[in-house]
Amino acid sequence: MSLVEVTALHKQFGSAHVLKGIDLNVEKGQVVTIIGRSGSGKSTLLRTLNGLESIDSGSIDIDGERIDARHADLRRLRLKVGMVFQQYNLFPHLTAGENVMLAQAVVKKAPRAKAHACAEQMLQRVGLGDKFDAYPSQLSGGQQQRVAIARALAMEPSLLLCDEITSALDPELVGEVLGVVEQLASEGMTLIMVTHEMRFARRVSDTVVFMHQGRVWESGPAEQMFGSPQSIELQKFVQ
Ligand code: ADP
Ligand code: MG
């Protein structure tokens, strides 16, 4: 069984039918990149995967947790699914380390010493071992986003979702954040990400999913998707 199984997933916002029957399987350790034009439903799909949006029909199975239109155990789901957003949303009055500790201390109810040790370790993992006591305002955007990644990792998720996590960054800061993602991928983290960094997507993705008008229009290995796109829509998109 795959780590993630999405079956016939539909989502509407009022009369707007935003996800029109999504099927998607992701194996443990796979890196899947979702590409597509603005408004095609990429963020909505990611948000359904960690319970930020309810679904109208279909089902989502993630590491033994099931979500369908009728029920979802959001607490258990969010213990398994980490998410990083375009806006890093760190608490400005807490240090980098305290921001990372919150996940363990509040959500996992870990003792303070354990949460502290874990936060140190996660900050090291994203190359910020020396920034535990720095406040967000003392960090660059790239460093703040790496703290946000560390915060997600502190939950020890089975799956990490990244939604355009470099889109708000100055160009010279994009590389350091993508470098962390690439390192996580090489360590075997299961990743589903939305990105506009096409060269990066081509290099690190096992599977690329092209969404168009609320549907998975085309999907396949990165080389095939970028090298020989089949549909006219994907051909136009990758040009
Ligand atoms: P993408 O991430 O691919 O740009 P989104 O998933 O953000 O696309 O949005 C898909 C469509 O759903 C858009 O038309 C958007 O306006 C609509 N949408 C997204 N969130 C909401 C919401 N909370 N309420 C109403 N419409 C929404
Ligand atoms: Mg989006």
CATH code at position 175: 3.40.50.300
Cβ pair 226, 53 in contact under 8 A: no
Q: What is the pairing mode between strands 215-221 and 207-212? A: antiparallel
Residue 124, Cα to own-chain centre: how many angstroms? 20
113 CB within 6 A, ligand 1: no
ipTM comes to: 0.98
Spell out the residues 6+ positions from residue 137 whose beta carbon is closer than 8 angstroms to its own: 92
d(CA 170, CA 223): 28
13 CB within 6 A, ligand 1: yes
DSSP secondary structure letter of residue 128: -
Whole-model pTM: value is 0.96
Question: Structural domain of residue 161, as residue ranges?
Answer: 2-238
DSSP-derived 3-state class of residue 35: strand
CA-nearest residue, atom 11 of ligand 1: 39
196 CB within 6 A, ligand 1: no
Tens digit of pLDDT for each residue in 81-140? 999 999 999 999 999 999 999 988 877 788 889 999 999 999 999 999 999 999 999 999
Cβ pair 42, 34 in contact under 8 A: yes
Tens digit of pLDDT for each residue in 102-112? 988 877 788 88
Q: Which two tokens stand for residue 189?
A: 């983290």
Other beta carbons within 10 angstroms of residue 154's beta carbon come to 26
Phi first, then psi: what are they for 3, rounded to 5°?
-65, -40
Q: How far is the CA of 154 from the centre of ligand 2 (A)?
A: 24
d(CA 216, CA 182): 24
CA-nearest residue, atom 19 of ligand 1: 44
Ligand nearest to the CA of 40: 1
Q: What is the pairing mode between strands 57-62 and 4-13? A: antiparallel
Residue 192 pLDDT exceeds 90:
yes
Residue 32 pLDDT exceeds 80:
yes
Q: Looking at residue 108, what is its pLDDT?
A: 75
What is the number of the ligand 1 atom nearest to the C-alpha of 214? 10
Q: What angle do CA 106, 108, 109 make, to 5 degrees?
A: 60
The residue to which tokens 């947790």 are assigned = 65
What is the number of the ligand 1 atom nearest to the C-alpha of 41? 6
Ligand nearest to the CA of 167: 2
Phi first, then psi: what are they for 145, rounded to 5°?
-65, -35
143 CB within 6 A, ligand 1: no
Residue 8 pLDDT exceeds 80:
yes
**Angle, nearest 10°, between helix axes 171-186 and 141-153?**
20
The residue to which tokens 């034009």 are assigned = 37
d(CA 26, CA 96): 32
Cβ pair 72, 51 in contact under 8 A: yes
Number of structural domains (the chain) is 1
Tens digit of pLDDT for each residue in 127-177? 999 999 999 999 999 999 999 999 999 999 999 999 999 999 999 999 999
Paired strand residues for 60: 6, 67
